[in-house]
Structure 1
Amino acid sequence: MSTQVLLDLKNVNKVFGENHVLKHIDLQIERGKFITFLGPSGCGKTTLLRSIAGFYTIDEGEIWIDGKLVNDLPPYKRGTPMVFQEYALFPHMTVFDNVAYGLDIQKRPEAEVQERVKAALAQVKLTGLEERYPNQMSGGQQQRVAMARALVMNSPIILLDEPLSNLDAKLREEVRVELRSIQLELGLTVIYVTHDQLEALSMSDYIVVFNKGAIDQHGTPHEIYYKPRTRYVADFIGTTNFIDAVVRQTSGQTATVQYGSDGRMITLHTSEQVAVGENVLLCIRPESLRMNQPNAGDFIIEGTVSSSMFLGEKERYFLTGNHGAEWIVDAYDIGQQTFQGTVELRAAADKIHLIRITE
């Protein structure tokens, strides 16, 4: 195992009653990376996080942290401090005592506790608030206290279970930037659980997408967004358009496919090994489509504008294709121009992603 690998999960399985909630999870996580577990409620991401922390005992498989098998270790011996969605602060303790709690349990010398708590509070910008109680603080400040309590342990890995979900949108964005900044500055390995695609895309080095207890795909944010391996991933991450197609010719890393009711053809670059005659899906993001622009690409289809929605930096159009399919198109920086009636949709070949139908 590479020394760069801090967390190594091998065939991890977990069953609650008749529910197989974690299915054969194999995953390696490198040191110093911000990893996001992403998926809808009930997909297994929080169960896996809590299994890594030691709050759940797995039914099969192995969990290795920093070269040590930790299956039988209790949470406090794993070195995996966790920040919970509800923060889990002690209401009768001051900020200082909340942050110092883990060090007190370890019976660290008083001078060391003072030094490390002050350093952790400075990292989350709470210096001077040591004597306040949680009920005297805003939600954002409470979240920072919870983060400081994890940071003070000087652990190589920190687990975050949807820690921003209780904050309003503006504060959530601010704290998101702070968390990423702290992680980069200290070189921490962070595993972050969320169902928010924007959080995952904006913060992560790698995203792990969960689907019904299994990992559907993991990769960089760009890979997950622009090169989804399955329809589930493409549909879950952002907004996208799908159109059925059939492979008519292959050559190396290219495939010529036929699409639409009038049988148009387009040649695409793809890393997928597809066969002539295979049914596939074409995935096209709303921002990759252009309306009534003759030189905007070789993918062409007609649609009729049903409605539109002004979203500030863009206008989002909803269209019906000539074979009944619904299309979503984002038009940016168009001033007062609006599109109505029947329009021609175009996209460049390098903006179209081919997905094999495996389900």
Structure 2
Amino acid sequence: MSAQVLLDLKNVNKVFGDNHVLKHIHLQIERGQFVTFLGPSGCGKTTLLRSIAGFYTLDEGEIRIDGKLMNDLPPHKRGTPMVFQEYALFPHMTVFDNVAYGLDIQKRPEEEVQQRVRAALAKVKLTGLEERYPHQLSGGQQQRVAMARALVMNSPIILLDEPLSNLDAKLREEVRVELRAIQRELGLTVIYVTHDQLEALSMSDCIVVFNKGAIEQCGTPHEIYYKPRTRYVADFIGTTNFVDAVVREKEERTATVEYGDRGRTVTLHTDEPVTVGEQVLLCIRPESLRINQPDAGEFRMDAVVKSSMFLGEKERYFLAGDNGTEWIVDAYDIGQTSFEGTVEIRAGADKIHLIRTAG
């Protein structure tokens, strides 16, 4: 195991009754990374987080932190403090006492408790609020108290279970920026659970996408968004247009594919080991397409505008193409005349990602 690997999961399985919730999870997380577990409700992401924390016992597999096997250790001995969605603050305790709780359980000396709690509160910008109670704080301040309670333990990993979901949209964005800044400043290793794609894309060094208890793909935000390995990942992250195609020629790093009703072809760069005659899927993001721009790229298709939607910074068009395929195109030049009727949509070959549908 690399010295940079802090958390090592090997063949992790968890079963509840007849439900195989975690299926053969293999994952390594390096020190200082902000890693997000992303997926819909019921996909296993929270179960894995709680298994790492020690709240669930594995049915099979290993959890190692810094090379040490954690399977048989209780939560309070794992060094994996967890920030819950509801924050789990004690309402009868002050901010100071809430943050000091874990140190008090360990019976740390009073002078050390004072120093570490005040340092943790300073890191999350709550100095001066030590004597307030949770009901006297805003949602964002409560979230930061929960974060300080985790930071004060000087633990190698901090686990966050959808900690921003109870905040309104504006405050959620502000706290998201603060949380990422704290993580970077302190070099923390953070595992963050969410079903919010935007949160995952904007905060993470690495995103782990879950599907029915298994890891579908693990990669950087750019890899997950622009180079999804499966249709599931492409469809789950953002909005995507899919086009059925057939491989007509294959070179070492390129593939020429045929798409649509008119036998049109486009040559793409790809590392996928596709073969001639293979059915594949082309993935094109709405922002990568252009309407009625002849020089906008090699990929082209005629389509009919069905409707449009004004979204502030862009106009979103809904179109029908070959074989009734549905298209979504985002136009950011809002000052232009709206498109109507039959149009041509185009994209550059470098904006198209090829996904294998078999093998």
Partners of 1:112 and 1:218 in 2: how far apart? Answer: 40
Partners of 1:109 and 1:334 in 2: how far apart? Answer: 63
The equivalent of 2:339 in structure 1 is 339
The equivalent of 2:126 in structure 1 is 126
Offset, 1:334 = 3.5
Offset, 1:300 = 0.5
Offset, 1:322 = 3.0
Tell me the alpha carbon deviations over residues 47-105 of structure 1, each in whole angstroms, 9 at most, x when there is no partner.
00000000000100000001100000000000000000010011111110000000000
The equivalent of 2:157 in structure 1 is 157
Aligned residue for 2:328, secondary structure, equals: strand
Partners of 1:100 and 1:267 in 2: how far apart? Answer: 61
Report the AA paired with residue 36 of structure 1.
T
1:93-108 to 2 correspondence within 5 Å? 93-108=93-108
Aligned residue for 2:239, secondary structure, equals: coil
Partners of 2:333 and 2:119 in 1: how far apart? Answer: 46
Offset, 1:135 = 1.1
Offset, 1:358 = 3.0
Report the AA paired with residue 177 of structure 1.
V
Report the AA paired with residue 116 of structure 1.
R
Offset, 1:138 = 1.2
Aligned residue for 1:165, secondary structure, equals: coil
The equivalent of 2:315 in structure 1 is 315
Instruction: Provide TM-score, normalisation by structure 1.
Output: 0.99
The equivalent of 1:89 in structure 2 is 89
Partners of 1:322 and 1:2 in 2: how far apart? Answer: 50
The equivalent of 1:177 in structure 2 is 177
The equivalent of 1:353 in structure 2 is 353
Q: Percent identity?
A: 84
The equivalent of 2:72 in structure 1 is 72
Tell me the alpha carbon deviations over residues 212-263 of structure 1, each in whole angstroms, 9 at most, x when there is no partner.
0000000000000000000000000000000100011100010110000111
Tell me the alpha carbon deviations over residues 99-155 of structure 1, each in whole angstroms, 9 at most, x when there is no partner.
000000011110110011111111111111111111111111111110010010011
Offset, 1:46 = 0.2
Partners of 2:202 and 2:188 in 1: how far apart? Answer: 17
1:262-341 to 2 correspondence within 5 Å? 262-341=262-341
Matched, 1:220 2:211: no
The equivalent of 2:193 in structure 1 is 193
Partners of 1:120 and 1:75 in 2: how far apart? Answer: 21
CA-based RMSD? 0.8
Report the AA paired with residue 151 of structure 1.
L
Partners of 1:333 and 1:189 in 2: how far apart? Answer: 41
Contact 2:313–2:334 (CA<8 Å) still a contact in 1?
Answer: no
Greater Cα offset, 128-137 or 17-26: 128-137
The equivalent of 2:245 in structure 1 is 245
Matched, 1:115 2:115: yes
Instruction: Provide TM-score, normalisation by structure 2.
Output: 0.99
Matched, 1:44 2:44: yes
Greater Cα offset, 37-46 or 117-126: 117-126
The equivalent of 2:58 in structure 1 is 58
Offset, 1:336 = 3.7
Report the AA paired with residue 43 of structure 1.
C
Report the AA paired with residue 95 of structure 1.
V
Report the AA paired with residue 171 of structure 2.
L
The equivalent of 1:145 in structure 2 is 145
Aligned residue for 1:14, secondary structure, equals: strand
Contact 2:309–2:317 (CA<8 Å) still a contact in 1?
Answer: yes
Partners of 2:217 and 2:322 in 1: how far apart? Answer: 33
Report the AA paired with residue 76 of structure 1.
H
Aligned residue for 1:96, secondary structure, equals: helix
Aligned residue for 1:323, secondary structure, equals: helix
Partners of 2:322 and 2:35 in 1: how far apart? Answer: 42
Aligned residue for 1:239, secondary structure, equals: coil
Partners of 2:172 and 2:32 in 1: how far apart? Answer: 23
Greater Cα offset, 318-327 or 181-190: 318-327
Offset, 1:156 = 1.2
Greater Cα offset, 319-328 or 10-19: 319-328
The unaligned stretches of length 5 or more in structure 1 are: none
Tell me the alpha carbon deviations over residues 147-173 of structure 1, each in whole angstroms, 9 at most, x when there is no partner.
010010011110000000000000000
Aligned residue for 2:354, secondary structure, equals: strand
Report the AA paired with residue 31 of structure 2.
R
Contact 2:302–2:344 (CA<8 Å) still a contact in 1?
Answer: yes
